[in-house]
Amino acid sequence: MIGQIGKNLAIDDNPVDLETILNEVYAVIDEARALVGGRVIILECEDVVRLIQHYELHGFKKIPTHDPVKGLVTMYTVVE
């Protein structure tokens, strides 16, 4: 499960975007998978339409939850 990722908005014209962040995350996950295995990446994010759409563009899908933590959405993607 991904802990917390984000972009530092305090930096003017910060060139970092979600794709760059996810590329770094996937590199670390690939190293971990080589050691312990795994096929699914799960993350939680704020329930913000624009943020959810960004993750969906990168292959993540929402997991319907019956008792979600207020303001958070759980999402997943399968890695091969």
pLDDT in tens, 20-69: 888 888 898 889 888 888 888 888 888 889 989 999 999 999 998 766 66
Which pLDDT belongs to residue 29?
Answer: 85
Cα–Cα distance between 40 and 47 in angstroms, integer? 21
CB 58 within 8 A of CB 64: no
User: C-alpha angle with apex 45: 5 to 71, nearest 5 degrees?
Assistant: 140
Which pLDDT belongs to residue 79?
Answer: 84
- Say whether pLDDT at 14 is over 90: no
> Can you read off the two tokens belonging to residue 48?
């913000």
0.85 exceeded by the pTM?
no
